[in-house]
Amino acid sequence: MNQFALVGNPNTGKTSLFNTLTRSYETVGNWSGVTVEKRVGTLRGRGGRLIDLPGLYSLLPLTPDEGVAARFLMEETPSSILNIVDASQLERNLYLTIQLLECGRPMLIGLNMVDVARSRNIAVDAGALQRELGVPVVPIVARKGTGCAEVLHALGGLEASRSGGFRIDYGPAVEAGAARLAALLSSGGTASASDPRWTALQLLEGNEAVRASLPAAVRPAEVDSILEQTAEELESSGLESDIPSYLRRIRTERIAQICRSALDRSGQRLHTATERIDAIVTHRILGIPLFLALMFLIFKLTFDWLGSLLSDVLDGFISGSLSGAISTALTWLGASPFTHALVVDGIVGGVGGVLVFLPQICILFLLISFIEDSGYMARITLLMDRTMEAVGLSGKAFIPFIIGFGCNVPAIMAARTMEQRKDRLLTTMLVPLMSCSARLPVYALFAGVFFASNRALVVMGLYLLGMVLALALAKLFSRTLLKSEPSLFIVELPPYRMPQPLSLLRMTWEKVKGFLRKAGTIILAGSIIIWFLSNTGPGGVGVDMNESFLASIGGALAGLLKPIGFGTWQAGAALITGFMAKEVVVSTMNIIYQVPDMAGLEHQVAMAFTPLQAFSFIAFILLYIPCLATVGVIRKETASWRWTFFSMGYSLVLAYIVALIIYQGGRLVGLV
């Protein structure tokens, strides 16, 4: 099947276009590095596969997400390329375009954000650009869908055409070197999918990935000798001795020449609205307080003003009408008491007990999506960099941290966009300390019982605790385990834009779907297993719960947990099952305490814990271990079991110490 690769600079709207062309709902955002993995979709109406790739500035990747895109282009050799170019940043974008044109594959250019360019009085002549580059250029506004039909149509006619002979003459020395390299490659006898001249130019530019993928028949020594000879000839002809910077200079000159006929920036205006907003939100005194106020507003909306109200309504429905209807239906069907108990206590209790928190999770995801799509994300990195630098991290690590408030899994993947390995590794280790939405039901339950009057404050305290510990550990780890490199910080600040309500709702829905999927799989399976373990024991089926398998499993931990305030088998069992997914802690409690609704569970929990024990317990839940899915992604991103086990080990130790300090310290000062 035809493959079209979507390639372009970061934050130029590739994923927006991908979503429109394939009817997908991949996450979009307004900062560089939203997409870190390739995504495949089927083109609307005409078949063929479209592959969305992370953004990159040139074919020489610097970060792992850029590596994904560069490797895909070299190894999977898509039949055609759809290159997205930001019309308001034409010169910078054309550098990659030139490297892509040299590949010699059929190519279409989507000239995106022509509306943004126009509003800033930047005039781009698509016709002139098409003549200069020799490939079709279609002006589009990907976010609004303008021009997308034309792109689909043009992709259809692309197959047959080869790109129209765009070629840069790099001067005698480089051209001779490229010709010798190309000859060497074709003498190797292996027909490479890539254009030989392109491969030769990439070798001259020092592209390690291209070099590594050379056929075995090509001897590295011969390549090196041609490279050296070319460098000497270049120098002796009075030009630079460094081939890569020479190539860059020639290309930049060509781009300037193209822009003289296709671009008019004489009347260019600054982003006045963006400047005005930044003057306030990145203000040297107001900036950080405003950020903290925004975070507090998010907690208030999620836990106090809106979220908990809606959750109560949903709880009334699930534990009342729904549970009642299922119970009636089961009786009518003649279900055995066993089945009845499994469905009503196990499944409805376990899964329903978590689904109750859906409204709060929706609101949290909606607010995070708003931050992602507005352009504020990049400003947060700017505000936090000084603090992050002090603990040995880059300000950019704050993007994974914020995403981690939603879910740790995409947050860890987002660490790919940082340039330094140390920044990436530290961030991967510390993201699990960010309170994800799965921990929210546990907080909401316990805070609702014990700290009802200042719920939002207690929950925000927990989020802050995670954040403060992450920063403290960053300092510790960067001093001990990862001393080598200093952190690096550079960020692009894109113009602000108003998130579109529809796209915002879609992004939120995509994330909420993940939660619902989890409810239907891991949480459902977990609830059934827990129900069985709590109703069976060495004595057979239907034993008293204190004699069940679950009680003996949880009881094994009780002694260990006693010093931190919750030495019961119930707490031990909830912690073990919580490793699957943190929400399962709430499912387990629902099943163990066999309560019909939230009010009943809250009553039971109030009986089982004192406020101090409860606080120690939720702090332990916050820190104690990354969930199963997070462990999986840590393993994948670090490619190391040692780091994976380290992430689990340090968090267990940390959780125990923190809970011990809270509980024993609290008792010392007379709290209960």
If the CB atoms of residues 102 and 385 are measured against other proteins, the closer one turns out to be 385
Q: Which stretch binds other proteins (CB under 8 A): 39-47, 377-385, 593-601, 621-629?
A: 377-385
Q: Which of 212, 216, 270, 672 binds other proteins (CB under 8 A)?
A: 270
Binding mask 584-603 for other proteins (x = CB under 8 A): --------------------
- Residue pointed to by tokens 């267990």: 652
Q: Please, are residues 582 and 630 in contact by the beta-carbon 8 Å criterion?
A: no
Tokens of 169: 């003459």
If the CB atoms of residues 195 and 419 are measured against other proteins, the closer one turns out to be 419
Interface with other proteins, residue 91, by CB under 8 A: yes
For the CB of residue 285, give the shortest distance to other proteins in the complex, in Å.
Answer: 7
Handedness of CA 197, 202, 203, 208 (dihedral sign): negative
| Residue whose C-alpha is closest to residue 435's, from 415, 417, 454, 461 | 461
Q: Which of 38, 131, 248, 340 binds other proteins (CB under 8 A)?
A: 248
If the CB atoms of residues 154 and 288 are measured against other proteins, the closer one turns out to be 288
Tokens of 175: 């051209």
Interface with other proteins, residue 208, by CB under 8 A: no
**CA–CA gap between residue 414 and residue 410 (Å, rounded):** 6
Which ranges in 566-640 belong to alpha helices (H)?
569-577, 584-592, 598-608, 611-623, 628-638
Burial class (CB in 10 A: 0-12, 13-18, 19+), 130: middle
For the CB of residue 385, give the shortest distance to other proteins in the complex, in Å.
Answer: 5
Q: Which stretch binds other proteins (CB under 8 A): 275-283, 404-412, 446-454, 497-505?
A: 275-283
**CA–CA gap between residue 91 and residue 89 (Å, rounded):** 6
Residues whose CB is less than 8 angstroms from the CB of residue 6 and which lie 6 or more positions away in sequence, other chains included: 14, 17, 18, 50, 51, 52, 53, 82, 84
Strand partners, 108: 82
| Residue whose C-alpha is closest to residue 548's, from 533, 561, 568, 531 | 533
Interface with other proteins, residue 88, by CB under 8 A: yes
Q: Which of 278, 315, 372, 597 binds other proteins (CB under 8 A)?
A: 278
Interface with other proteins, residue 211, by CB under 8 A: no
Burial class (CB in 10 A: 0-12, 13-18, 19+), 269: exposed
| Residue whose C-alpha is closest to residue 434's, from 458, 399, 408 | 408
- Terminal Cα distance for the chain, rounded: 67
Pairing of strands 123-124, 263-264: antiparallel
Q: Please, are residues 27 and 34 in contact by the beta-carbon 8 Å criterion?
A: yes
Binding mask 418-447 for other proteins (x = CB under 8 A): -xx---------------------------
3-state secondary structure of 593: coil
Interface with other proteins, residue 122, by CB under 8 A: yes
How far from chain centre, in Å, is Cα 317?
34
3-state secondary structure of 35: coil
Interface with other proteins, residue 339, by CB under 8 A: no
Q: Which stretch binds other proteins (CB under 8 A): 87-95, 345-353, 506-514, 633-641?
A: 87-95
Interface with other proteins, residue 162, by CB under 8 A: no
Binding mask 39-78 for other proteins (x = CB under 8 A): ------------------xx---x----------------
Binding mask 294-333 for other proteins (x = CB under 8 A): ----------------------------------------
Interface with other proteins, residue 268, by CB under 8 A: yes
**Within 10 A of 190 (CB to CB), how many other CB atoms are there?**
12
Q: Which stretch binds other proteins (CB under 8 A): 213-221, 262-270, 436-444, 551-559?
A: 262-270
Q: Which stretch binds other proteins (CB under 8 A): 72-80, 334-342, 378-386, 534-542?
A: 378-386
Tokens of 531: 């129900």
If the CB atoms of residues 92 and 636 are measured against other proteins, the closer one turns out to be 92
For the CB of residue 147, give the shortest distance to other proteins in the complex, in Å.
Answer: 22
If the CB atoms of residues 284 and 642 are measured against other proteins, the closer one turns out to be 284
For the CB of residue 296, give the shortest distance to other proteins in the complex, in Å.
Answer: 19
Total residues interacting with other proteins, rule: CB under 8 A: 43
For the CB of residue 241, give the shortest distance to other proteins in the complex, in Å.
Answer: 15
Q: Which of 41, 48, 139, 287 binds other proteins (CB under 8 A)?
A: 287
Interface with other proteins, residue 491, by CB under 8 A: yes
How far from chain centre, in Å, is Cα 467?
18
Interface with other proteins, residue 497, by CB under 8 A: no
3-state secondary structure of 537: strand
| Residue whose C-alpha is closest to residue 488's, from 564, 397, 577 | 397
If the CB atoms of residues 60 and 505 are measured against other proteins, the closer one turns out to be 60
Q: Please, are residues 507 and 373 in contact by the beta-carbon 8 Å criterion?
A: yes
| Residue whose C-alpha is closest to residue 553's, from 536, 531, 569, 537 | 569
If the CB atoms of residues 329 and 468 are measured against other proteins, the closer one turns out to be 468
For the CB of residue 228, give the shortest distance to other proteins in the complex, in Å.
Answer: 22
Tokens of 447: 């805070």
Interface with other proteins, residue 668, by CB under 8 A: no
Q: Which stretch binds other proteins (CB under 8 A): 138-146, 384-392, 512-520, 545-553?
A: 384-392
For the CB of residue 589, give the shortest distance to other proteins in the complex, in Å.
Answer: 44
If the CB atoms of residues 390 and 556 are measured against other proteins, the closer one turns out to be 390
Tokens of 487: 């952190």
Judged by the rule CB under 8 A, the positions of this chain that interact with other proteins are 57-58, 62, 88-89, 91-92, 95, 120, 122, 248, 252, 265, 268, 270-271, 274-275, 278-279, 282, 284-285, 287-288, 378, 381-383, 385-386, 389, 395, 419-420, 486, 488-494
